[in-house]
Amino acid sequence: MRTLTGMFIMVIGLSLTGGVHAGDAAAGKAKSQSCVSCHGMNGRSNSPDNPNLAGQKKNYLIKAMKAYKTGDRKDPMMNTLVSNLTDADIADIAEFYSLVK
């Protein structure tokens, strides 16, 4: 009974968090190579038209990338670039950029 209760609590917790992936910064750095041309090396853009990603809050980056993926946020380049990212990919990239200072 105790194990069943624990599993129930875990399932409820995952459903409420959407199965959030913790994020792996090293994996995120590797996955962020397509971001460099617009957002600069390590997320520091040289263009006033492209925002810096370095040091942004992880949850903000996740929310923004997911909004581009669903089309809630419109930018043809971003919509295309994030279209094939998994939730784990997004969490990894967000983890990486959130830790860059």
Residue 74 lies in a domain: yes
- Domain carrying residue 45: 23-99
Does the pLDDT at position 44 exceed 80?
Answer: yes
Outline where DSSP puts E strands in the chain: none
Number of domains in the chain: 1
Return the pLDDT at 2: 54
Instruction: Indicate whether 74 pLDDT > 60.
Output: yes
**Is the pLDDT confidence value at 11 over 80?**
no
Distance in angstroms (rounded) separating the CA atoms of residues 37 and 84: 18
Other CB atoms within a 10 A radius of the CB of residue 25 amount to 16
Q: Residue 32: which CATH number?
A: 1.10.760.10
Mean pLDDT score of the chain, rounded to an integer?
Answer: 87
pLDDT above 90: residue 13? no
Is residue 55 in some structural domain? yes
Instruction: Give pLDDT, residue 20.
Output: 58
* Residue 11 belongs to some domain of the structure: no
Is 60 domain-assigned?
Answer: yes
CA distance linking residue 24 with residue 32, whole number of Å: 12
Q: Render pLDDT for 85-101 as a digit per residue (tens, 0 to 9).
A: 999 999 999 999 999 98
Q: List, in order, residues 6 or more apart from 30 with CB less than 8 Å away.
A: none
- On whether residue 88 sits in a domain, the answer given is yes
pLDDT of 5 above 80: no
Residue 78 is assigned to a structural domain of this protein: yes
Say if 70 falls within a structural domain: yes
Q: pTM of whole model > 0.75? A: yes
